[in-house]
Amino acid sequence: MKAIKIAHLYPERMSIYGDFGNVLVLSQRMNWRGIKNEVVSIEVGDKLPKDIDMIFIGGGQDKGQVVVAEDLMAKSSQIKDFAESGGPLLSVCGGYQLLGEYFISSDYGQIQGIGLFNVISKATETRMIGNILVQSEKFGQLVGFENHSGATEFIGRAQPLGVVKKGFGNNPDDKLEGVIYKNAIGTYLHGSFLPKNPKVADWLIRQAIKYSGQNIKLKELNDELENSARKNAARKA
């Protein structure tokens, strides 16, 4: 069995509000099922291995985004090829913004993104902060915590991750949250996101296994705790 390899991009600069927990969840849910896996941390200047099966990038302050943006651009074609060929990817907040066309920050001007997602983001005067509740066609109810001043909008065709029931999501106006393109997800949900939304975690794992060329059926796990945590968070939102 080939180990499922997860690339965690820029954990030093881009992993806030519990984002690191997403990688722990992905790895642990594979461990529980006896699926070999490996997490490689990729910082600025590091090579992105060719044999990765999943990519994760979390959120960061505008300054962190400036620091990693150029390096991300250097890895742009590898990341885009990966996603275009069905590789699973999860990006949160600042990471999500950098996978769009650009993010205009109030302090640093325009930060160029790699354009995987048909979105642009701009800093606003509003801090969109708090618990957020989303209804997703694909995953059902999703919960998280958001904290951003950047507002994201679609340019051209894009599919949202879900519809906002409480909170802000992509921006204060259109009630849409995140984006999903092939098997790549962008979202504003920190929290961490995956511990309380195990359906998304297992979906990502399934895509990673498929991408690795293996055929492993995922055993059901007892998600009582995870689901009651989600319901609790939904109640709070």
Catalytic residue (choose from 190, 196, 199, 230) = 190
Residue 60 is a binding residue for ligand GLN (CB under 6 A): yes
Active site annotation includes 93:
yes
Residues 51 and 6: their CA atoms lie apart, in Å, by 9
148 binding ligand GLN? (CB under 6 A)? yes
Contact 127, 110 (CB under 8 A): no
Task: Choose among 30, 11, 158: nearest CA to 94.
Answer: 11
Is position 190 annotated as part of the catalytic site?
yes
Site string for ligand GLN, 157-196 (x = CB under 6 A): ----------------------------------------
76: contact with ligand GLN by CB under 6 A: no
Return the structure tokens found at 40: 């490689």
For residues 201 and 223, what is the distance between their CA atoms, to the nearest angstrom? 12
Angle between helices 198-211 and 20-31 (to 10 degrees): 70
**What backbone phi and psi angles, to 5 degrees, belong to 212?**
-75, -5
Binding residue for ligand GLN (CB under 6 A) from 18, 21, 87, 94?
Answer: 94
Examine residue 147 and tell whether it contacts ligand GLN (CB under 6 A): yes
Residue among 93, 114, 161, 200 flagged as catalytic: 93
Interface characters, 16-45, with ligand GLN (x: CB under 6 A): x-----------------------------
Residue 221 three-state SS:
coil
Q: Does 101 bind ligand GLN (CB under 6 A)?
A: no
Q: Hey, which residues are catalytic here? A: 93, 190
